[in-house]
Amino acid sequence: MRSRILLASVLAALSLCACTKENPTESVTEPVIVNVTPADTKAIEDYYSNWAEFIKKIISESGFNLIDIAVKLDFPEIGRLEDLDIRDGNGAPVKFGDLSEPEQTAFIECAAVELAAIQCAKAVQMSALYREFGFLNDLIVAVSAFADKLIKAGTSIDVFVDKLQTMISRPMVLDVCSPFPAVEEQPATKGLIGFDDPERMSYPEFISQMAGVARKGDFAIIIPVADHPETLWNLKPYFIDTPSGIHHAFGHCAIVMDDFKPETSEDAELLYGAVEEGVNYESSSTWLTDFYLLEPVNLEFIWDIANTDTPLRIEPVAIPRPERDKFVTYAKQYEHASFINMLSTDWFVSKRLVPEKFTCASFLWHCCQNVYGLDISVPFIPTVAPINVVCSPYTIIKKFITTENLK
């Protein structure tokens, strides 16, 4: 499978919001790869193969308005095809709708191959992505098979969407694509990092890893993984014992509100997100544990069908500082906004409840949508979990902040 060093940690999807390089002096941070995991690429390859087939089916067979489908099915990739600003091999703009049908098919197929390679490179830094794409692949296979029957039956768009939404919301499918990775037979205190754990890093150790790396507008994300308990955060409400006795780890995410510097004091409140008390600043002391530092990026797409070896290239583009300033300012207006309890039914439709109330991840999603025009969720699902932010085409992993770096 091909991969490029330049794109080594970019998860790209055809949510394709191509852009020009507005500020050539800014560059995407080179990722610091810490926890390398063996490649297990089949789930990711299968997902993108089925993802391409679903998009081609909707475009060529359904006759539906693509934007309607995108909005009603929480599948932004399809809707953005019409407005995608593609650059040809000479840098001239090309619209997806102006491509011939064979060229559109070729574009989507090339994108699937490239995106799978990019995703696998990113998953090297976070093994949880292999499992997550397994969930997403099961979901898209089920949805695609059901959609095929509806299209062949000549179903109207309203009935098509209604039946698909009903099918997606069935417990069976939600179980397959559960955002709550179960911790297998593991006591809530075993091997987990918590406030009183002696393995938690000190503030000087924390700042030594964040200074010069964590920039205004970055994301801090804790991802729970069953087979890597050191990445769990054993603190309520992010780790909960359900009535069934199964531990569910939810993870957490927040916005970095300003650059971290060597002189940043311990009482500085530079992390901000939706927590149990509502949207608010979080003390750095809360984050003295293992977590991932992510950078949001824009994407640029270069399509040159005459280049038979590599007709499509996807490059990350740094978001300029003025846009990051706007992002942080926009987020501040929601201070004290309500929090969605993660065991309530509201969690499963969190994207539909903004801006009245938020989960930690739907808060990041809402702010990205309204400032950057970027969708950092995944197809078909009306909620967003911290792991989905990492799956987004518009984030790269900058660094794994961990006590292992200090040994």
Residue 261: the pLDDT is 94
Is 158 inside a domain boundary? yes
Residue 230: the pLDDT is 33
What are residue 396's phi and psi, to 5 degrees?
Answer: -125, 150
Q: Calculate ∠ Cα 374-379-384, nearest 5°.
A: 70
Convert the pLDDT of each residue in 363-401 to its tens digit. Answer: 999 999 999 988 898 888 888 888 889 888 788 999 988
Rounded CA separation 141/386 (Å): 23
Residue 263: the pLDDT is 93
Convert the pLDDT of each residue in 83-136 to its tens digit. Answer: 666 777 787 888 888 888 888 888 899 888 888 887 888 888 887 788 788 888
Q: Indicate left, alpha or beta for 86 from its phi (over 0: left) and psi (-120 to 50: alpha).
A: beta
What are residue 387's phi and psi, to 5 degrees?
Answer: -65, -30
Cis peptide before 296 (omega within 30 of 0): no
Q: Indicate left, alpha or beta for 132 from its phi (over 0: left) and psi (-120 to 50: alpha).
A: alpha
DSSP state of 200: S
Mean pLDDT of 193-199: 44
What are residue 299's phi and psi, to 5 degrees?
Answer: -130, 145
Band of pLDDT at residue 246, cut at 50, 70 and 90: very low
Convert the pLDDT of each residue in 41-67 to its tens digit. Answer: 888 899 999 999 988 888 888 777 777
Q: Indicate left, alpha or beta for 191 from its phi (over 0: left) and psi (-120 to 50: alpha).
A: left
Percentage helix, strand, coil, to 5, in the chain? 40, 15, 45
Is 365 inside a domain boundary? yes
Is 373 inside a domain boundary? yes
Rounded CA separation 105/58 (Å): 12
Rounded CA separation 292/125 (Å): 10
Is 6 inside a domain boundary? no
Percent of the chain exceeding pLDDT 90 equals 25
* The token pair that represents 332 in the structure block: 């501040």
Is 90 inside a domain boundary? yes
- Between 229 and 250, where is the model more confident? 250
Task: Print the domain residue range for 60.
Answer: 42-406
Residue 209: the pLDDT is 93
Is 9 inside a domain boundary? no
Is 178 inside a domain boundary? yes
Q: Is 321 helix (H, G, I), strand (E, B) or coil?
A: helix
Strand-pair category, 338-339 with 85-87? unpaired
**CA distances to 162, 314, 366 from 120, in Å:** 34, 15, 27
Position 187 pLDDT exceeds 70 = no
Is 322 inside a domain boundary? yes
User: Domain with 68 in it: what CATH number?
Assistant: 3.90.1720.10
Q: Is 256 helix (H, G, I), strand (E, B) or coil?
A: strand
Specify the number of domains making up the chain: 1
Q: Is 137 helix (H, G, I), strand (E, B) or coil?
A: helix
DSSP, residue by residue, 347-391: GGGGGGTTTTEE-HHHHHHHHHHHHT----S-TT-SS--HHHHHH
